[in-house]
Structure 1
Amino acid sequence: MATLYHGKMAAIYDAMYQTFVDYDEEYEFYNSFIQEHNCKSILEIGSGTGNLAKRFKEHHQDYTGLDYSESMIAIARERNNNVTFIQGDMRDFNLEKQVDAIIITGRSTSYLTTNEDINETLASLFNNISDEGIIAFDFIDANRFIPYINKNQKIIHQAQHEGINYTRESHWETTTADNFMVDWTAKYYTNLNGKKDLIADDFSTVRVFTLNEIQLFLYINNFEIIKTVDRKTYAYDTYVIVAQKKKS
């Protein structure tokens, strides 16, 4: 798994995504599944800088956040007093007590680049979810995303936060790896008084999936899908899967 969003990248990510993502809507979306299945305790994987954590706390829900990046968690803890955040790896974690809902947000599944990564993650979810609990996660749809990036060699996102204008220029390139893999190069700029300054650059290799792949991974790891949502996002359409442990 890539080492993501450490140091200043965590703060830059946080600033830009305040504009990209409607976190109130994001909370309502995931909370609808949580309420539908009467889940009392929630783990968010990919909790980042704590934007959803803030909403769960405001609604007095039993919430825990888990993220791979210590820098992201540091921001989240500053933002959310009396909320538990764990620095950890979704492929291998053990909670003190099983929870009723585990959500993986922000397309964090993209960083599970091998089949072993995915199977280990699903095994961890299975072990840490209650028998009647749910898992919910999004993923990048290969059938839509690969044609999109082939037509759009450079993708530009702009955001404004606390009076600062940010630009992110992304370049995506499919690789010849065994799975559906994409190399992502991004440059981040500030724009002040017409002057564009490079403040950071980043590189990641991510995995995109077909819906059928995800269905099969869940099946062989003893989950059954109870809902598939075709969802629009700020960048491109994706799928969100809601699943439970198979009934014996």
Structure 2
Amino acid sequence: MANLYDGKMAAIYDAMYQTFVDYDQEYAFYNTLIQENNASSILEIGSGTGNLAKRFEQNKQNYQGLDYSDDMIAIAKERNKNCSFMQGDMRNFQLKNPVDAILITGRSTSYLITNADVNTTFDAIFKNLTKDGVLIFDFIDANRFIPFTKENPVITHEAEYKNVNYIRESHWDTNNSLENFMLEWNAEYYTMSNGKKEVIENDFSTVRVFTLNEIQLFLYLNNFEIIKTIDRKTYAYDTYVIVARKKITA
């Protein structure tokens, strides 16, 4: 798994996504799905710098977050004094007590680049859910995103936060030699001052996008039953959101 958003990148990510994402709207979306499934305890995988955690905490919900990056968690803990966060890998984690709902947010599924990554993640989630627990997650739709990157090899996003203007230029390489609909993503981050761009960081990752059929099969093979599929447009990517319930086999 990519070693993302450590050190300086954690703070840059946090600043830019304050503008990219409406976290009040994001919280309302996920909380609606949580309430529909009568879930009272929640784990968010990919909790990042704790922007959703803040909303769960404000509403006094039983929430905990898991993230791969210690630096992201440090920001999250500073922002949410009363929330529980743990550093961990979604492919192999163990909670003290199972929870009613596990979320994978922010398209963090993109970093599960092998089939083994996906299977071990779903297996770990299955083991950490209560009997009728639900898994709620999003993923980038390969059928729409790959053609988009072919037509738009450079994608620019701009954001302003605390009077600083940020620019991110994303370069997507759809390398046909890579398996599993993987893409190489190279992002350059700048600040803009007096009409001049100043490079502040570069980031490189190999990521994976999925077809809906792939995800349906992965869930079936890992004893999950899909109860809702949502086609959702986000700030940058066409995504699906899946709600799946664990099946208890005899």
Aligned length: 248
Which amino acid in 1 is paired with 2:178? A
Q: 1:151: which partner in 2? A: 151
Structure 1 residue 221 and structure 2 residue 216: aligned?
A: no
Q: Distance in 1 between the 2:37 and 2:229 partners?
A: 15
Q: Distance in 2 between the 1:137 and 1:150 partners?
A: 26
Secondary structure at 1:12 match in 2? helix
Q: After superposition, what is the alpha-carbon deviation per residue over 1:173-214, rounded to whole angstroms, capped at 9, x for unaligned?
A: 112122110000000000112121000000000001000000
Alignment of 1:2-21 (within 5 A): 2-21=2-21
Q: 2:246: which partner in 1? A: 245
Q: After superposition, what is the alpha-carbon deviation per residue over 1:28-67, rounded to whole angstroms, capped at 9, x for unaligned?
A: 0100111011111000000000000000000000000000
* 1:247 positional shift: 4.6
Structure 1 residue 194 and structure 2 residue 195: aligned?
A: yes
Alignment of 1:40-79 (within 5 A): 40-79=40-79
Which amino acid in 2 is paired with 1:133? G
Secondary structure at 2:126 match in 1? helix
TM-score (normalised: structure 1): 0.99
Q: Distance in 2 between the 1:129 and 1:200 partners?
A: 38
Q: Distance in 2 between the 1:77 and 1:178 partners?
A: 37
Structure 1 residue 88 and structure 2 residue 88: aligned?
A: yes
Which amino acid in 1 is paired with 2:153? Q
Structure 1 residue 104 and structure 2 residue 104: aligned?
A: yes
Alignment of 1:108-187 (within 5 A): 108-175=108-175, 176-187=177-188
Which deviates the most, 63-72 or 167-176? Answer: 167-176
Q: Distance in 1 between the 2:36 and 2:242 partners?
A: 15
Query: Identity rate of aligned residues, in percent?
Result: 69
Structure 1 residue 209 and structure 2 residue 210: aligned?
A: yes
* 1:19 positional shift: 0.2
Which amino acid in 1 is paired with 2:160? Q
Secondary structure at 2:205 match in 1? strand
Which deviates the most, 97-106 or 193-202? Answer: 193-202
Secondary structure at 1:93 match in 2? coil
Secondary structure at 1:60 match in 2? coil
Q: 1:39: which partner in 2? A: 39
- Would you identify which runs of 4 or more consecutive aligned residues in structure 1 move more than 3 Å? none
* 1:133 positional shift: 1.3
* 1:82 positional shift: 1.4
Q: Distance in 1 between the 2:110 and 2:174 partners?
A: 14
Q: Distance in 1 between the 2:247 and 2:145 partners?
A: 30
Q: Distance in 1 between the 2:90 and 2:64 partners?
A: 13
Structure 1 vs Structure 2 CA RMSD: 0.7
Secondary structure at 1:238 match in 2? strand
Q: Distance in 2 between the 1:19 and 1:217 partners?
A: 33
Q: After superposition, what is the alpha-carbon deviation per residue over 1:48-102, rounded to whole angstroms, capped at 9, x for unaligned?
A: 0000000000000000000000000000000000110000000000000000000
* 1:20 positional shift: 0.2
Which amino acid in 2 is paired with 1:189? Y
Secondary structure at 2:146 match in 1? helix
TM-score (normalised: structure 2): 0.98
Which deviates the most, 190-199 or 60-69? Answer: 190-199
Q: Distance in 2 between the 1:116 and 1:223 partners?
A: 17
Q: After superposition, what is the alpha-carbon deviation per residue over 1:127-158, rounded to whole angstroms, capped at 9, x for unaligned?
A: 00011111100001100000000000110000
Which amino acid in 2 is paired with 1:104? I
